[in-house]
Structure 1
Amino acid sequence: MTRIDQWTWAVRLYKSRSLATTACKAGHVRLNGERAKPSQAVKVGDEVRVRAGGYERVFEVVTLLEKRVGAPIAQAAYVDNSPPPPPRDEFFGAFGTRERGAGRPTKRDRREMDRLRGER
């Protein structure tokens, strides 16, 4: 039996075990469609969904790991069924872009960017 927070840390989805535990408590980790508590048991064949970086990643458990291992072994412990990430232009296009070499934004430019982002 392996805990979900321990497995996500062991396969290098999170940098530390405490970050994995915090993500589980915050509801960013789902096990077979349900919110996962940090101590919930993982079995081979389970589906793990992790929300990170603005989009959701989907993994299928192939091997149970309790200790953190090297990257090649960690990648062999799961099958990544995640959809491709959204294009960079689509993700960042709404924030307004400045031309390269335009220098530091003026106060007016910054206010326009804040208005586009929906701040204030």
Structure 2
Amino acid sequence: MPRTDSRDDADDESTPPGKVRLDKWLWAARFFKTRALAAEAIDGGKVSVNDERPKRAKLVAAGDEVSVRIGPYQHVVRVRDVSGRRGSASVAQALFEETAASIAARGLVAAQYKNAAMTFAFQEGKPSKKERRAIDRVRRR
């Protein structure tokens, strides 16, 4: 039997049509596994909407530009559609369009990480102090 008193339904009644809360959209677009993680990223300054730092209840609509930092990767996407429901990956991909610059930047970061990993030949045992310093220098870049 479906629940009728869920928190999500209460959110849907108060939002205007064509808009949805930012934390809910990030969760529905599968940037984060839970709404709590999405809210934590927003509060931590890892998300911006139209080059402004939003609150988690910020309403997003089609055409907004959302920037999301996940680990070392920066995703810059344009909102195509809004949804408060989490669907399959193909449905989630239809909610946004990533910019070409964002895709290129993420590819560059991935290549840098791959090259950095290939430069170290790990020996058996713990690295020496000199080797640890070299590792730290590469990781700080």
Q: Normalized against structure 1, the TM-score is what?
A: 0.82
Amino acid at match of 1:38: R
Greater Cα offset, 47-56 or 85-94: 85-94
Q: Hey, what does 2:45 align to over in structure 1? A: 27
The CA deviation at 1:52 is 1.1
- Tell me if the contact between 1:96 and 1:113 (Cα under 8 Å) persists in the aligned partners: no
- Tell me if the contact between 1:95 and 1:113 (Cα under 8 Å) persists in the aligned partners: no
CA distance in 2, matches of 1:9, 1:115: 39
Determine what percentage of the aligned residue pairs are the same residue.
Answer: 32
For the pair 1:50 / 2:50, whether they are aligned, the reply is: no
**Which aligned pairs between 1:98-117 and structure 2 lie closer than 5 A?**
98=121, 102=123, 104-108=124-128, 111-116=129-134, 117=136
The CA deviation at 1:14 is 0.6
Q: Hey, what does 2:6 align to over in structure 1? A: none
Given candidates 67, 80, 84, the residue that maps to 2:85 is: 67
Number of aligned pairs? 114
CA distance in 2, matches of 1:52, 1:97: 25
For the pair 1:97 / 2:120, whether they are aligned, the reply is: yes
The CA deviation at 1:88 is 4.1
Given candidates 73, 83, 103, the residue that maps to 1:83 is: 103
SS at match of 2:87: coil
Q: Normalized against structure 2, the TM-score is what?
A: 0.71
The CA deviation at 1:107 is 4.7
The CA deviation at 1:15 is 1.0
Structure 1 runs not aligned, ≥5 long: none
SS at match of 2:82: coil
CA distance in 1, matches of 2:111, 2:83: 37
Alignment RMSD, CA only? Answer: 2.3
Structure 2 runs not aligned, ≥5 long: 1-18
Q: Comparing both structures, which one devotes a greater share of its residues to helix? A: 2
CA distance in 2, matches of 1:26, 1:87: 22
